[in-house]
Amino acid sequence: MAIKKTLTGAVPSVLDGKVVFWNLTMKYEEGTEGEADYYTNDKTVNINAVDKDPDGKDINNFTPKAEADWTKKELEDLCPTTKWDEIFASQYDSVITNPPKEPVPDNSYVIPS
């Protein structure tokens, strides 16, 4: 079954009428809800329009513009989905496909005499 990704949260921070910071949340889902193969996880990222690299140079992540000028696709494109896809696949594998085996207590064990 395919992974379903849904942008569920987008909180802008505005300066002088333009968004300069986004807090974005995307919900990841795989499997059938209510079934043993279902797993969901939320991913969140905070993105400044401009960050600084270790040398102090500007890194432009997006061009500030008014809230109303943003499209859903532009917001989704800001999310690091390639990284999130890898993380979610690993989580799904470790929780659903290949969960760790848990030891089972044997309450009928008799202490040797």
3-state secondary structure the chain: CCCEEEEEEEEEEEECCEEEEEEEEEEEEECCCCCCCCEEEEEEEEEECEEECCCCCEEECCCCCCHHHCCHHHHHHHCCHHHHHHHHHHHHHHHHHCCCCCCCCCCCCCCCC
Query: What's residue 100's pLDDT?
Result: 83
Query: What's residue 1's pLDDT?
Result: 63
Backbone conformation region of residue 12, classed left if phi is above 0, alpha if psi is from -120 to 50, else beta: beta
The owner of tokens 């990222």 is: 45
Query: What's residue 98's pLDDT?
Result: 86
Contact 61, 47 (CB under 8 A): yes
Per the confidence metrics, is the pTM higher than 0.95? no
- Alpha-carbon span 15 to 64, nearest angstrom: 9
Query: What's residue 108's pLDDT?
Result: 95
pLDDT in tens for each of the 113 residues of the chain? Answer: 689 999 999 999 999 999 999 999 999 999 999 999 999 999 999 999 999 999 999 999 999 999 999 999 999 999 999 999 999 999 999 988 888 888 999 999 999 99
Report residue 37 CA to chain centroid gap: 19
- Alpha-carbon span 49 to 67, nearest angstrom: 13
